[in-house]
Structure 1
Amino acid sequence: MEHIDDVDAALIAALQHAPRAPVGGLAEVLGASASTVSRRLAGLRGRGVMRVSASVSWSLRRTGHPVFAWISCEPGSVRTVAAALSALPGMQSVFVLAGSADIQCLAHPTQDMDAAALVLDVMPQIAGVARVESTLILATSTRSSEWRAPGLLTEAQTAQLPALRRASEPAAPAGGEGRGPHDLRPIELRVANLLVQDGRMSVNDIAAALEVTRTTARRALEGVLTSGLVRPRVDVEPRFLGFPLGFSASIRSRPSALAELLEELAGNVHARMVAMTAGSSSLVVQGNVRDEAGLRSFISDDLGAHPGITDLSVSVVLQTVKRNWRPISSEGLTEATDLRLPE
């Protein structure tokens, strides 16, 4: 695997299970020294291979409900259109595809640009855009922040990680988000901003950054993590973990089969995001597999075996231009972008 070795891959996989786990705990799980884990973490981040950030509720970002958009381009203009889309406010992800559309993006309408203006006025005016199709996301059963690369850790290692996560990251109340965006105190919003930049910031780091006591920093951190609005996550291109082939599947199904499909696909190891949509498709699935054989198996076995699916369209990701708000280089490396939330 390019840029990393097996030790790096196992470390990233462990962090996917427990993003804020202490170095000592990670070292024990991986059978390595704490100094080795610390050095590896610094190297992965320094090279832009991996970053630990935080997934933030769209309501906390003060944006409108997210939408998928598929863009068809004039010949020879795909790369320039993708770059222009990536630069738009509220653009979370941009992928270049081989399929019925040239580009797929996930956008959040902002206070200055609602969904109608975005898809009817702004996107069509980008030079090279020939057609825009959009659909509202109604619900998600799996988010990309929850994807964990299979096969990189032993069963024994995987079994140790939930306890590490519970110890390092207080859980949100069961049943969904415990607090609304307006319930967070000003200091908690400042902590949320810090976690978006670095999801592994310690209590000491937060106290120093905000110039408050450790007790105040700890209480604010716990308030943010238990709110359900901010979830630490690992940002890494799946290709580094042995899953280079990305895909996007648009699924039509009988309405009565939607709930079962959402539940089944949420547990599929290859699905990074599963969303119910209001458009020509019932569901959109974004995922990654190891190779063409893996994609064939996902289509024919995982999806083809479900009687509720009536139609299917699959596109392959040729290039990731932006993922989780961060621009991605042609080598798959993430930039150290300022992802500050609105005040």
Structure 2
Amino acid sequence: MTETLDQADRSICAALLRNGRAPWRLIAQATGLQERTVSRRATRLFEQGLVRVTAFAHPLLAGRGDAFLARFSCRPEQMPHVARWLAHRPETLWVSTLMSQSAVLAECFIRPEEQAAFIERELPFRDVTDYSFAPLHHYRRTVRGWQPDILDRGQLAVLGEDETSALNASEGPLDEFDQVDREILDLLIRDGRMSIDAISSELGLAKATVRRRIQLMQHSDRVSIRAVLEPALLGFPHEIFLTARAPLSRLDELAELIAADSRARWVAETTADGSVRAMLACRNSGEVPSAVSDLAARFADDRLTVETERLLTMYKRSDVVLPPAIRSS
């Protein structure tokens, strides 16, 4: 079982969730810790493999295709195999098995011209007994914007990153990456805190060019740089997947209510079936009924239905393949 970090480490992790490239000085200012303490503790977390900072490119700009929530049913003994296969696929962003049934959930981005090949040629050979692909039409929260109850609003404001503008930007036209952007991005995917000097030396670019390019990619919300870690480290070991359904006329309202919950790590609308899908990180199983009843009270509509499923094992988070998939690949 993953142990919870102490308060200082949790504060540093929360800061890195907000802004993965924040200087130690800025994190110290936000958390009230000494700068040398922040540097020492964060370095230890990195070296132990508990926290990784990586860049994540906007899927549309990266040419990854249309967004779907995919569910793959399989026999119980095949769950790990299907999950590992999906975790290593470039189409998936996150992958998890379910506790409630022998199935695997995944967020997928598939180009239209590749959808038939993936479903008709790949799945039949992967011990998948059934599948579904629900198109994701509008994101209300991604793990980039998850802020557990560790830092307050004032502390978060010091760090300077905010998902709101990113979610708004994804609704409009976006500029694609050029070759130089992609080369810088590839290095930041490997290490989101790689120094300007190191990137400049690796690519043979002027430091001013590297700095300007990274700032432009971040400020335009084409790229986010954030920490990837297990919520259990922060005291939230109980992850659930929630499906809430309501009339289409109130779907936006429902999605906003769910996204406003500090436990919501990922929230998206699926207008095809009038549902909001969400991933929640809770302190314990007792929080789940209270979260559902609180949502029902705030939404106040008898037509609301809510289903919850316990996430069992995460094989991939934020495009990062996790040890369960690595060890058995």
TM-score bracket, shorter-length normalisation? 0.7 to 0.9
Give 2:307's aligned residue: 313
CA contact 2:264–2:279 (8 Å) conserved in 1: yes
Give 2:137's aligned residue: 138
Which whole-Å CA distance do the structure 2 matches of 1:108 and 1:227 have between them? 21
Deviations 1:268-299 (A, max 9, x none): 11111111115445211111111111111111
Q: 1:227 to 1:53 in 2, by over 3 A?
A: same
Give 1:6's aligned residue: 7
Give the C-alpha shift of residue 258 in structure 1: 0.7
Q: 1:321 to 1:280 in 2, by over 3 A?
A: same
The question of 1:126 aligning with 2:120 is answered no
Report which stretch shifted further, 303-312 or 65-74.
Answer: 303-312
Give 1:341's aligned residue: none
Which whole-Å CA distance do the structure 1 matches of 2:296 and 2:203 have between them? 49
Percent identity over paired residues: 26
For structure 2, the residue ranges without an aligned partner over 5 or more in a row are none
Q: Secondary structure at the match of 1:140?
A: strand
Give the C-alpha shift of residue 304 in structure 1: 5.3
The question of 1:51 aligning with 2:52 is answered yes
For structure 1, the residue ranges without an aligned partner over 5 or more in a row are 336-343
The question of 1:180 aligning with 2:174 is answered yes
TM-score calculated relative to the size of structure 1: 0.85
Q: Which amino acid aligns with 1:242?
A: G
Q: 1:314 to 1:22 in 2, by over 3 A?
A: same
CA contact 1:50–1:334 (8 Å) conserved in 2: no
Which whole-Å CA distance do the structure 2 matches of 1:138 and 1:174 have between them? 12
CA contact 2:94–2:319 (8 Å) conserved in 1: yes
RMSD: 2.7
Which whole-Å CA distance do the structure 2 matches of 1:9 and 1:92 have between them? 24
Deviations 1:45-102 (A, max 9, x none): 1111111112321122211112111122113221122112222231221111123562
Q: How does 1:92-241 map to 2 (within 5 A)?
A: 92-99=93-100, 102-110=103-111, 114-127=114-127, 129-150=128-149, 152-153=150-151, 155=152, 158-165=153-160, 175-176=168-169, 180-182=174-176, 184-241=177-234
The question of 1:20 aligning with 2:21 is answered yes
The question of 1:264 aligning with 2:257 is answered yes
Q: 1:174 to 1:103 in 2, by over 3 A?
A: closer
Q: Which amino acid aligns with 1:79?
A: P
Q: Which amino acid aligns with 2:74?
A: C
Q: How does 1:81-96 map to 2 (within 5 A)?
A: 81-96=82-97
Report which stretch shifted further, 277-286 or 214-223.
Answer: 277-286
Q: Which amino acid aligns with 1:67?
A: F
Give the C-alpha shift of residue 174 in structure 1: 9.9
Deviations 1:31-55 (A, max 9, x none): 3332222121111111111111123
Which whole-Å CA distance do the structure 1 matches of 2:88 and 2:20 have between them? 28
